[in-house]
Structure 1
Amino acid sequence: MKELIEKLGREPGSHKGENGKVLVIGGSEKYTGAPALSAEAALRAGADLVKILTSEEAKPIVQSFSENLIAESYGSKFDEESLEKAQELEEWADVTVVGPGFLSFEPSALQEFAKGAGKLIVDAEAIEHLIDTENNFFTPHSGEAEIMAEKSGSLKMYSFETGNTVLMKGEKDRIFHGKQIEEIGSGCAGMTVGGTGDVLTGVLAALKAQGLSDGDAAVLASYVNGEAGEKAFEEFGNGLLATDIVEMIPKVLME
């Protein structure tokens, strides 16, 4: 993994925004923490700038989690009227995460947004509605992965036919990239706590935004998330929180 981490080196004379800009679309009144975890993980994984697009109700709560977060609103529900704002921010970003804590949206509006978007990292509730898109990332758990596999007979064929890179979360993460399959064994049982998947999407977004290839970004994101989880578990045991994993990300990348 050292060679992949070394690819993340930045130019001494670079300016704000030149080392990765990430947009996170998600959150709801019920799940305000999910997009914040993704955003904070992206910052800790080296992205220069991260913006969150969330519901009007969730925005002040999301913003309050950290002074490092920039939150904007798409209104009470992500619908056709939200598209102009979403497209404007998507054009600003290098990579867009869609799904963490995302409950209040019209599937047709989300699909319309995806048609004109660049690289997406699709998670959680957004997966089933964007499953037919191409050349993106998906981060399903085993149940969501089964639905995806049904499209083509297997996740391997799904990835090959769509060009989507699939990072299936589990005891050992499995990555399907074209006809290649990678298995990453870092991580621990303490990572069953809520929010670790949101952290993973943020790490993946940051690594891709910093210029790694799709396959390399997926492999390194899985490794970094797992190693950060192990470090957090060593310190906090079964009391670890997803936020503890976020704080360990720079330590893994600096080793």
Structure 2
Amino acid sequence: MLSKLAKTELISLAKSFIPPLLPTFHKGQTGKVAIIGGCEDYTGAPFFSAHAAATLGIDLTHVVCEYNAGTVIKSYSPNLMVHPYLYETDNVPSQFSNNQERFLKDKVFPKIYSLLSRIDVAVLGPGFGRNPLMLKQLESIIDKLKETNKFFVLDADSLWLVTQNPDIVRNYEKAILTPNVVELSRLCKKLNIDFDITKNLTLEESLEIAKKLSKELNVAVIVKGHDDLIINRDDHIVSSSEGSLKRVGGQGDSLSGLIGGFLAWANAYQNSLWKVQDDPKLTTSQLILLSAFAGSLLTRTSAHKAFDLKQRSMQTTDLHDHIAKSFTEIFES
């Protein structure tokens, strides 16, 4: 049980699935991640998620966004591959306005499914929005990810979709939900789990609620808060390293990208990309817990460094400036 291990032991286990940098590797072998999100109103969130994964060390980082968000997100960085494949209801070409199903089937899904077949991990939800047609596309993307047995992280508006239809992720072992306290409250209400968002809970009480959610859906969960509670049914990790006293928009998106990046490395580990000494190897459940722990620890450490430097003026971009150094200190020292 990972819950019985010390922080140093958890870090050591996480190190075991971080790929070495070998001259025999080629582009893409140490990670291909797609962020599914971004619409006209929200372009920063998918960028933060994708940029965090890329800065972690992922070889190829994609963003699949709504048609009108593509140019904006592309302007943020040339290091990301941005695909404006998704469509909100009002942006569907006029010739398909009366047959949106055909438009999705003929023009949208073939491009998205082709990309999904080439990635290791998807991060769903940053800046996605709640447009009904967008959510319909997200449902199909989740179905395709499950069909092809991919890891995926659910954040932000993808959690809204889960609140409307919990069965879309139920019993899928390669998914992890990343709710904050408000998103947790919605999920608990939908699933009839007793949770009062106004009550100050002890760590043990919070863990119990998170465990109930994980067991009800039979998936992994990381509940973000003062301590990040990482649960996979009966096992758990509490990530309590010091972070930033400044809570600024975007840090949760950075976390989702880092978790996605570590899961891409976990996938390479499972596929024996390099010679692994572990016997037996870490299980899928353990890899998800450790990926979430590693992502949480790296986010908190980077945020702490950024806050030390910038104090109240700290922004999420400042957090990203410290990912490389924090990673080296934690995982390569």
Q: Provide the C-alpha distance between the structure 2 equivalents of 1:152 and 1:7, rounded to a whole number of angstroms.
A: 37
The 1:17–1:105 alpha-carbon spacing in structure 2 relative to 1, beyond 3 Å, is farther
Aligned to 2:85: 74
Q: 2:181–2:225: 8 Å Cα contact kept in structure 1? A: yes
1:171 pairs, out of 226, 229, 247, with 226
Aligned to 2:314: 240
Q: 1:159–1:166: 8 Å Cα contact kept in structure 2? A: yes
Aligned to 1:126: 158
Aligned to 1:149: 188
What secondary structure, in the 3-state scheme, does the structure 1 residue paired with 2:319 have?
helix
Where do 5+ consecutive residues of structure 1 fail to align?
Answer: none
Aligned to 2:121: 95
1:37 pairs, out of 20, 41, 48, with 48
Q: Provide the C-alpha distance between the structure 2 equivalents of 1:190 and 1:198, rounded to a whole number of angstroms.
A: 17
Tell me if 1:8 matches 2:11: no
Q: Provide the C-alpha distance between the structure 2 equivalents of 1:75 and 1:120, rounded to a whole number of angstroms.
A: 18
Q: Provide the C-alpha distance between the structure 2 equivalents of 1:7 and 1:55, rounded to a whole number of angstroms.
A: 33
Larger Rg: 2
The 1:152–1:36 alpha-carbon spacing in structure 2 relative to 1, beyond 3 Å, is same
Q: 2:230–2:293: 8 Å Cα contact kept in structure 1? A: yes
Q: 2:121–2:151: 8 Å Cα contact kept in structure 1? A: yes
| Paired letter, 2:17 | K
1:188 deviates by 3.3
Aligned to 2:297: 223
Aligned to 2:277: none
User: TM-score, with normalisation over the residues of structure 2?
Assistant: 0.72
The 1:19–1:165 alpha-carbon spacing in structure 2 relative to 1, beyond 3 Å, is same
Aligned to 1:159: 214
CA offsets per residue over residues 58-109 of structure 1, 9 Å max, x none? 1011001011111011143287513222222211110001100111452333
Tell me if 1:20 matches 2:31: yes
Q: 1:171–1:187: 8 Å Cα contact kept in structure 2? A: no
The 1:18–1:199 alpha-carbon spacing in structure 2 relative to 1, beyond 3 Å, is same
CA offsets per residue over residues 97-129 of structure 1, 9 Å max, x none? 110011145233322221121222111111121
Count of paired positions? 255
| Paired letter, 2:160 | E
What secondary structure, in the 3-state scheme, does the structure 2 residue paired with 1:29 have?
coil
What secondary structure, in the 3-state scheme, does the structure 1 residue paired with 2:141 have?
helix
Tell me if 1:198 matches 2:253: yes
RMSD after superposition:
1.9
Tell me if 1:115 matches 2:143: yes
| Paired letter, 1:92 | R
What secondary structure, in the 3-state scheme, does the structure 2 residue paired with 1:10 have?
coil
CA offsets per residue over residues 132-182 of structure 1, 9 Å max, x none? 313311111101112223426343133134332111111111111121232
Q: Taking every aligned residue pair, what percent have the same amino acid on both sides? A: 28
Q: Higher mean Cα deviation, 92-101 or 180-189?
A: 180-189
What secondary structure, in the 3-state scheme, does the structure 2 residue paired with 1:210 have?
helix
Q: 2:52–2:257: 8 Å Cα contact kept in structure 1? A: yes
Q: Provide the C-alpha distance between the structure 1 equivalents of 2:233 and 2:303, rounded to a whole number of angstroms.
A: 28
| Paired letter, 1:139 | T
The 1:209–1:31 alpha-carbon spacing in structure 2 relative to 1, beyond 3 Å, is same
Where do 5+ consecutive residues of structure 2 fail to align?
Answer: 1-9, 90-99, 194-208, 268-286
